[in-house]
Structure 1
Amino acid sequence: MNTPRHKRKQATSAASSNPKLPNSDISSSENPASAIIDVSAVEVPELTEQEQSDRLHLERKVERAFFEAGKALAELRDRRLYRSTHSTFEEYCKDRFGYNRSRSYQLIDAAVVVDNLHKCPQIVDILPTAEGQVRPLTKLETQQQQEVWQAAVEKAGGKVPTGRIVKDVVQQIIERTKVPNTYQIGEVCQILVKDNPELRGKSGCWAIVTQVNDFSCTVRTWDSELTVAVQHLKSYDYLPAECQQVQQICDRISRVYSSELEESVQRFLESLGKLKRAYLTQLEEKVLRVLESEYDSEIT
């Protein structure tokens, strides 16, 4: 029995079966791969004056997003608007925005810098668009911030400079203005915060020099040890005996201080850490002795 042959189907395209399709832009005699297709141009209307204004307004909002965030965070912190749900500003930022302490204060400090730059008429048209561009400026004096930003804009060819350009200009100024270190170990100084956010909360505190570096000192305060540039220190010019007295007071405060103490007691100990004299009054001495006796009774 002969098996019937299968008929092979021949595929044909619509173009070959209908060589003259209506509205066809491709000739049947052309190779489809090299065919030319006519595409009609679409006219893009120009922005109206109102649209141009809206675009500029929205662009400015995007550019100022970090600035607005910093301003808002500062107000939330200063007015303690977090107090109904959180005991500290840091906990609130972590839960509400996912910001750790460092990020929250980076935005706050950046907003302070931008506010300062706004006051300089020469640079009002070219302002930072990202927090990283102003981060190197937060450690500078107010006038220096404006000068550095102007120099960075010039270095960037009249455009908004990158954070790297700003950092390079800041480093040049630091190298040019470094002050030699004449402090000695054991010397008692006052901390001058100026515009350094890393010294936040230490304004006016006395500090005992424990290590002398080229352009900074490692100092001990009543509750911590930190490294401070010499421009942020001012010597009290105490006599050696007075420096020794301050060291003894520092040891006593550090021994009894704890974050678990009542807030009023904490504030008292913190006030001792900002004394502008090398001794305690009779009342201060009496209160400190009471706290020391309480501490001794707790550990025995």
Structure 2
Amino acid sequence: MSKQNPAIAASSSIDASSTSIPIKAAQVELVEDLTHDEARDRSQLELRVGQAFYQAGKALAQLRQRRLYRSTHRTFEAYCQDRFGFTRRYSDYLIRGAVVVENLQQTRTIHSQNQLNEQKETNENLRTMPAAILPTKLEQIKPLANLKPQEQQQVWNKAVAKANGKVPSGRIVRGIVEQLNQKSSVSTNSVFQAGDVFILVRLAGKERKYNGCWAIAVEQSEYAVIVDVHNTTLTVKLKNLNKIDLFKAQQQLPQILQRMRRLHAVGILDRGADNVLEDLAKQTDLTPVEEGLLSWLEKYYKVDAQASES
């Protein structure tokens, strides 16, 4: 008996309950007839959606591409939700995951660090020989989805080597992808000096509120940068910084930062004052009215604007 590919045969992260969810009669309407062959193909593909994530992704891709859901649903999203209990995002993950697996099938998997070292001179072979070890769970695929095909192969080989020739966990794959992104950021961003001015972008989590704010560089490490914003100090990645090359901004914003910091040092500010400062933190060239508002706040809170320059 032949041994099946683990990416095709192994059970996935799809819940067993989701593979047998019936179509709710109240949500089904006859939208457009399918041919006999299309109806047969739809039934077969729906059965495959309940299998491993690779088969599920392949099946969903065909159902979407051929619009085989159209006899009962007007949209692919509604069909996936009613038939399988899948959100649109999860369905997209499965489809993209199948594409990644097919790409990895085109490259040889390195089983150990020694083999990885031995293959440095024959990298072309890595893209033409079938992979011996493939993903078995969707979480191993997600970190690879946004990478280029060759990068997916390189990351997977490194992950397998780190897992001593076994199927790596999603955590291992994600860690290697993060390292790749950090190295990419270092190579694509110019070196800068303390005092340079940037716009913050692509921040996530509790720091996302600072997206669009200007910031002053304080210190740079290999993969991160410490920056001052109007009310705090942040540690961000190079990819989160867009440099401002305007001479006027480079000259004025450090002084404005000091003035805003002195206002925040007063203590709890009025809601209106906070709103004004948050807006000014996104303006790289203050208008006369904005400069007047900042001066009025300094006068109101008895903050000496000139003290920040001493």
Larger relative contact order (C-alpha < 8 A, sep ≥ 6)? 2
Larger Rg: 1
Bin the TM-score by the shorter chain: 0.3 to 0.5
With normalisation by structure 2, the TM-score equals: 0.46
With normalisation by structure 1, the TM-score equals: 0.47
